[in-house]
Chains A and B, each alone.
Chain A
């Protein structure tokens, strides 16, 4: 009998104008796992998240979340199954305050009716401030999100994800554009969430990946090249070959040396 995975992708393919972004991808994720996906540009990392969240549909293959196929569902139906996503470029509502951003992300009714007649309950208010505390933006609650620094926008979007409280979090390049210190704090944040949620992180920053100390999946040309611990994949000949190309590559994948 097959093991119960929270997310499975089997034989998934997707082409854009003849370019195979995802090519016969097989991917399995345990419940509660923190997984990092790395791979060179164009390896299909973000496209894979698009396929999971219903932004695009696969040409072939099946993606199942807790045994239910997601490939025919719309974005909001997939959200309601318990999958949340942070985009690669921070997507926050720039005209709204930080508080309002979290409010709009908060778990709860999504109907037109409740939007018009619903009120923010004290419990929700407390929840929002709790999230703001986690992402270190409590003192910026009434600031316009558009006025935040890049790293803070990234955090705000992660905060919206925390407010949603999904079973599966898909986090696309959370540390992009952050200072070293911010990156380290983001790593701590994700590690603290890892117990309660299943998380997939896409990242380029190897220091950050090492900090997460999770199982790593290497994507290459839309296909899983190699899986295992970071040390394992860093020493894999094929990974070194595709990731780094010629000589210089060794430095790119081992920046800490």
Chain B
């Protein structure tokens, strides 16, 4: 089994790491704003968001591209990770909120007498950090156990995951669900004792997201090259054969579902301090659908594909929603249709696809230029039977 990294891949990871962890933060911190190479605080913040999306996209691809489980509710886990960390950030605001109370603003506004008991432990950073992993992981474990044990597959699985995220979304919209209703959690002031809105903190958060992305990539690269990775693709390609080869398919699917939920949760946790808000719209079904489009556009079944797709589509979105605000959803939809019809392997599969096309046309042209010669020569010179044989060698 080949588990070692190829040289080019190592170089790629290294160069990516230098850009994300070295060059971009340095250009942001040490160049004056007048310099053409300067990267503004706004831009670094935007890139941080893209990197969170890239991690989320890898988690979608680990399920969809590698295991054939199309989850249309992956943003639920992303949002849950975000909420878990957002709760901690809410409690760090202290008396600096609008109402100068120990309680988060929305609780004062909604008339809570005291902090609800399940909020109390979120004062601890480490508890919140554990919740970022455990809450999405546990929900995935319970839902996955029930779904896979009942052998829910294919499109039914997709619909159920979408229903799950929609149900959660509606629940979080309720004011009495103690998570801030439709306003969600916002107005964060501090993180680990630093001002969350300062350029330096945002730069660190950007770099932390970069580290998460690289670790996620390396972890998934390793996992998909083990026998487990072969099993993922076996489940995807022929689940029946797999089942009758003595594997409890449900266990393997459950494992990968939980792992990808945890990855999505971690991405969500780093997303929240960078965008400064988490609300139930992050759980809306269309968010998860968008994540699936990133993976399809970038190239599913690869690890670099989702990263490329998430960054490319979101960069396009940032530009298009300013240039043509009304057309964005149409552009997104058209992109998905084009990719499904013409680019089955997405952007990263494009070079190979073009190369194959080029080779095909070269062969075709060569054949075409040779044919007239044969046709002109044979009927005149060759006896009938031989001619027949050369034209139809299989008769």
Query: In the complex, what distance in Å separates the CA atom of A116 from the CA atom of B230?
Result: 10
> CB < 8 Å: which of B1, B228, B240, B245 contacts A105?
B245
Given A116-B226, A116-B228, A120-B1, A93 and B248 touching (CB < 8 A)?
no
> CB < 8 Å: which of B223, B237, B243 contacts A94?
B237
Query: In the complex, what distance in Å separates the CA atom of A76 from the CA atom of B149?
Result: 13
Interface residue ranges, B against A (CB under 8 Å): 1, 223, 226-228, 230-231, 233-234, 237-238, 240-249, 251-252, 255
Query: In the complex, what distance in Å separates the CA atom of A94 from the CA atom of B248?
Result: 20
Between A and B, 10 residue pairs with Cβ closer than 8 Å are A75-B244, A76-B246, A76-B247, A79-B246, A91-B238, A94-B237, A114-B227, A117-B226, A118-B227, A120-B227
Contact B252 A79 (CB under 8 A): no
Query: In the complex, what distance in Å separates the CA atom of A96 from the CA atom of B237?
Result: 9
In the assembled complex, how far is the CB of residue A124 from the closest CB belonging to chain B, in whole angstroms? Answer: 11
> CB < 8 Å: which of B226, B233, B237, B238 contacts A115?
B226
Contact A75 B243 (CB under 8 A): yes
Query: In the complex, what distance in Å separates the CA atom of A55 from the CA atom of B237?
Result: 18
- A164 interfacial by beta-carbon distance below 8 Å: yes
> CB < 8 Å: which of B227, B228, B243, B244 contacts A103?
B227
Binary flags per residue of A63-90, CB closer than 8 Å to B gives 1, else 0:
0000000000011100110001101000
- A209 interfacial by beta-carbon distance below 8 Å: no
> CB < 8 Å: which of A79, A95, A112, A119 contacts B1?
A119
Contact A112 B234 (CB under 8 A): no
- A160 interfacial by beta-carbon distance below 8 Å: yes
Query: In the complex, what distance in Å separates the CA atom of A117 from the CA atom of B242?
Result: 19
> CB < 8 Å: which of A92, A110, A164 contacts B238?
A92
Query: In the complex, what distance in Å separates the CA atom of A136 from the CA atom of B249?
Result: 30
Query: In the complex, what distance in Å separates the CA atom of A80 from the CA atom of B247?
Result: 9
Contact A96 B1 (CB under 8 A): no
Query: In the complex, what distance in Å separates the CA atom of A153 from the CA atom of B245?
Result: 16
Number of interface residues of A (CB under 8 A): 33
In the assembled complex, how far is the CB of residue B123 from the closest CB belonging to chain A, in whole angstroms? Answer: 36
In the assembled complex, how far is the CB of residue B259 from the closest CB belonging to chain A, in whole angstroms? Answer: 10
In the assembled complex, how far is the CB of residue A48 from the closest CB belonging to chain B, in whole angstroms? Answer: 15
Q: Which residues of B contact A13 (CB under 8 A)?
A: none
Query: In the complex, what distance in Å separates the CA atom of A118 from the CA atom of B230?
Result: 13
**Max chain A Cβ within 10 angstroms of own Cβ: one of B1, B240, B244:** B244
Contact B246 A93 (CB under 8 A): no
Q: Which residues of A contact B231 (CB under 8 A)?
A: 104, 115
Query: In the complex, what distance in Å separates the CA atom of A53 from the CA atom of B246?
Result: 11
Query: In the complex, what distance in Å separates the CA atom of A87 from the CA atom of B226?
Result: 27
The 9 nearest A-B residue pairs measured at CB: A79-B246, A91-B241, A115-B228, A116-B228, A75-B243, A115-B227, A93-B234, A76-B248, A76-B246
Query: In the complex, what distance in Å separates the CA atom of A74 from the CA atom of B6?
Result: 41
Contact B252 A160 (CB under 8 A): no
Given A112-B228, A116-B226, A119-B1, A53 and B244 touching (CB < 8 A)?
yes
Q: Which residues of A contact B242 (CB under 8 A)?
A: 93, 104
Query: In the complex, what distance in Å separates the CA atom of A92 from the CA atom of B233?
Result: 12
- A33 interfacial by beta-carbon distance below 8 Å: no
Contact B1 A93 (CB under 8 A): no
Given A93-B233, A96-B234, A79 and B244 touching (CB < 8 A)?
yes
In the assembled complex, how far is the CB of residue B344 from the closest CB belonging to chain A, in whole angstroms? Answer: 14
Q: Which residues of B contact A76 (CB under 8 A)?
A: 243, 246-249
Closest to B1 in A: A120
Contact B240 A91 (CB under 8 A): yes
Closest to B252 in A: A112
Q: Which residues of A contact B246 (CB under 8 A)?
A: 76, 79-80, 110, 164
Given A75-B244, A76-B243, A76-B247, A104 and B230 touching (CB < 8 A)?
yes
- A100 interfacial by beta-carbon distance below 8 Å: yes
Contact B245 A79 (CB under 8 A): yes
Query: In the complex, what distance in Å separates the CA atom of A94 from the CA atom of B236?
Result: 11
Q: Which residues of A contact B237 (CB under 8 A)?
A: 93-96
Contact A160 B230 (CB under 8 A): no
